[in-house]
Every structure is written in C-alpha cells, then in structure tokens.
Amino acid sequence: MPVTTCIFDAYGTLFDVAAAARVAAAEPGREALAACWPKLAEDWRIKQLSYSWLRAVAGQYCDFWVVTQDALDWALEAQGLAGDAALRTRLLALYRELAAYAEVPAMLRALQDRGLTCAILSNGSPGMLADAVASAGIGELLDSCLSVDSVGIFKPARVVYDLVGQRYGCAPGEVLFVSSNGWDAAAAADYGFVTAWVNRRGEPIDRLPGRPAHILTDLSDLPNLEIF
C-alpha cells in the first residue's frame, strides 16, 4: 500500500523547541538565563510533555498553551528565575514563533513535488500552530494543522491518530507519521501508521509496543525513503 499522506508532529520535529530559550539567552541583560538556558529548555520540554500525559490519564484536558505556561513556570523556578516576569513574558512570546529546523522547508517542498499530502498532527492548540507555521513561513507547504483540541485529549491517545483518517480518508498504511518523540513514533506505529522517528539526540529506542519503521538523525533524507 503506497504512502500518500505525510503527517508530522510539530514541536521538536518541525520546530526547534529549544529556540525560545536560546534566543532569549543571547539578548542583552539575560546573563542569568545565559548561564542555564540549555537546562531550562530541557526542563521546560520535559514538564510540558509530562503534564500533557498526566492530564490525559486524569481526564483533565486543557489548552496546550496552559500546559506550556505551567511547564515554563516550573522550569523558571527550578533555575531560580521565577521572579523575572519580563523573562517569562519574553520566553512565551518567543515560543509562539519558534524557528523551524533548517532542513524543513526543502524537505516539505520535495514531498509536495511528489504529490504527497503534508500536514501537522500536534498537541498544540490551533492558535499556537498557526503562529508557528506563519513564523516559519511554511504554510504553503502544509495542507492542514490537525490539533488534539478537537478531541480534548493529548497524544498518545488513539483517538488523536484517528483524526488523520477522518480528515484524509486514508488507511493507516497509507500514512507516514513523523515525530522526534520516540514515544509518539511508537504509538503511531502501534496504531498502524508507517513511522519515522527523527532521533536528533541519538537516544535509545523506547521500550513500547510499537517500533518505528525508520530512524533518521534529521529530516533531510525523509523524501528519499523507499516508501513513496
């Protein structure tokens, strides 16, 4: 069954989630952040994901923007920066305009030139995704942005992956699902999607029921996979 539809996770896959802290740390007067920004960025991301999973299990869904702010507040406090309201405001503003990884536009264009449908499936709320796509200038390369907001639960709930078939009328085997999150790639593989894990950090594979069919170090070689 040929792949017709390429679905991408957004944060960490297309968009660099560390960019907000990295950019802010380079600004004048941000010496305290400059000393700890890699750890803050990592904590921010880990808590963002953890809070989404815990809310899913507890049945306490909320807008992903709320989760993102809660995670940042934890990360700021952990680094002794909780009292810097201006820094918090700046980091949140930068998160709304995260940079795409350098290879993303050319990769999407190559897939589009092959006649493939490309879209996002993300925990992000519609407003967050619209801001990120616009800031990265990749809107014309994406057919749509599917958000968990429409089902009220975060990944990896199976009902989230159902959104792809509902939107595009395709079977799971016709979908290439791409994520930088090992757990997301595993869940999508278990769902029945063909999956590619973008393992940018060289991490061990997650011990979960599903296994990604393809493992990449970045997105550059995605259009060259022998599945199209």
Point out the residues that are catalytic.
9
Residue pointed to by tokens 């090992």? 182
Backbone angles phi, psi at 151, to 5 degrees: -115, -10
Going along 68-224, which residue ranges are E strands? 117-122, 144-147, 175-179, 194-198, 214-216
3-state DSSP call for residue 166? helix
* Measured CA distances, 83 to 24, 76, 203 (Å): 16, 8, 34
Backbone angles phi, psi at 212, to 5 degrees: -65, 140
User: Cα(first)–Cα(last) distance of the chain, in Å?
Assistant: 10
In the sheet that holds 144-147, the strands lie side by side as 144-147, 117-122, 5-8, 175-179, 194-198, 214-216
Cβ neighbours of residue 152 under 8 Å, at least 6 residues apart?
61
